[in-house]
């Protein structure tokens, strides 16, 4: 089945130690998104790629970076994780049209 | 500007009774509206979407929603709740073709 895959499902890191989260998709969608979701809150968009074009949200901290080496893969890099970065990180994809986004299962990040 | 308001943060029902999750939207043009469901520690799953076709939209797992322009509402219903329906539900409007605006979520509890 075509799908959005996120690895790992759970990630534990230390305060200040860089961490990378991975997303891959077999849907051949050209748009990919990264969201941060804290407990009992709605997902918050961090950034998205439209093909190779990177679109950062204005309030996304510089500590968060992303890479998209090809259509299928997208990475979220957190350069110096703080305790406040502990959250669920969701990847989503879509085609140009329609607007429907398809989400992966998420990676839960714990910062010690 | 587009926005959605989920009128209830928590809804509790007994198994076998109807479910009603309320959502009002604000949009300057004909919106695309979605309901997503999120089970604990999982990603978001699309339940259904409205994109200006039929006003009554049928989704997965017996859920449906009716788009009412006069009331600016898009309430989610199910005739008979099942224990497996217990989850967080998000009403979402498309800001443009690339971004989604999420409601604050409604937590559905189902009692035996």
- pLDDT tens digits for range A46-101: 999 999 999 999 999 999 999 999 999 999 999 999 999 999 999 999 987 777 89
How confident is the prediction for chain A on average, in pLDDT? Answer: 93
Q: What does the mean pLDDT of chain B come to?
A: 92
Residues of chain B positioned with their CB less than 8 A from the CB of A88: 41
- pLDDT value for B95: 74
Which residues of B fall within a CB distance of 8 Å from A4? Answer: 43
Read off the pLDDT of residues B42-96 as tens digits, 9 standing for 90 and up.
Answer: 899 999 999 877 889 999 999 999 999 999 999 999 999 999 999 999 999 987 7
* Chain A residues whose beta carbon lies within 8 Å of the beta carbon of residue B99: 45, 48
Contact A48 B45 (CB under 8 A): no
Q: Is the pLDDT assigned to residue A2 strictly greater than 70?
A: no
Give the pLDDT score at B53. 75
Token pair for B71: 């009331």
pLDDT band at A1 (very low <50, low <70, confident <90, very high): low
Look at residue A83 and give its three-state secondary structure.
helix
The CA-atom distances, in angstroms, between A40 and each of A60, B25, B37, B39, B105 are 20, 21, 13, 12, 8
- Report the gap between the CA of A92 and the closest CA in chain B (Å): 9
Higher pLDDT: B38 or B29? It is: B38
- Judge contact between A74 and A54, C-beta under 8 A: no
| 3-state SS record for B35-90 | EEEECCCCCEEEEEEECCCCCEEECHHHCEEEEECCCCEEEEEECCCCHHHCEEEE
CB–CB contact A40 B94 (8 Å): no
How crowded is residue A26: how many other Cβ atoms within 10 Å of its Cβ? 12
Q: Are A86 and A111 in contact (CB under 8 A)?
A: yes
Residue A96: what pLDDT? 76
Statement: residue B110 has pLDDT above 90: yes
Query: Could you tell me if B39 lies within 8 Å of chain A, comparing CB atoms?
Result: no
């Amino acid at each position: 089945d075509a799908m959005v895959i996120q690895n790992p499902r759970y990630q534990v890191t230390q305060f200040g130690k860089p961490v990378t989260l991975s997303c891959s998709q077999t849907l051949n969608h050209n748009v990919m998104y990264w969201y941060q979701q804290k407990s009992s809150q709605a997902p918050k968009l961090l950034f998205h790629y439209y093909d190779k074009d990177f679109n950062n949200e204005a309030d996304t901290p510089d500590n968060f970076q992303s890479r998209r080496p090809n259509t299928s893969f997208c990475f979220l890099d957190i350069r110096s994780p703080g305790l406040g970065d502990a959250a669920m990180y969701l990847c989503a994809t879509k085609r140009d049209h329609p607007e429907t986004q398809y989400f992966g299962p998420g990676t839960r990040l714990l910062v010690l | 500007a587009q926005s959605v308001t989920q009128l209830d943060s928590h809804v509790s029902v007994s198994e076998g009774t109807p479910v009603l999750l309320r959502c009002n939207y604000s949009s300057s043009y004909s919106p695309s509206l979605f309901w997503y469901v999120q089970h604990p520690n999982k990603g978001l799953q699309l339940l259904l979407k409205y994109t200006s076709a039929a006003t009554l939209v049928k989704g997965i797992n017996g859920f449906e929603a009716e788009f009412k322009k006069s009331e600016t509402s898009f309430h989610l219903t199910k005739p008979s709740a099942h224990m497996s329906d217990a989850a967080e539900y998000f009403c979402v409007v498309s800001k443009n073709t690339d971004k989604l605006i999420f409601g604050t979520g409604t937590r559905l509890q189902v009692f035996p």
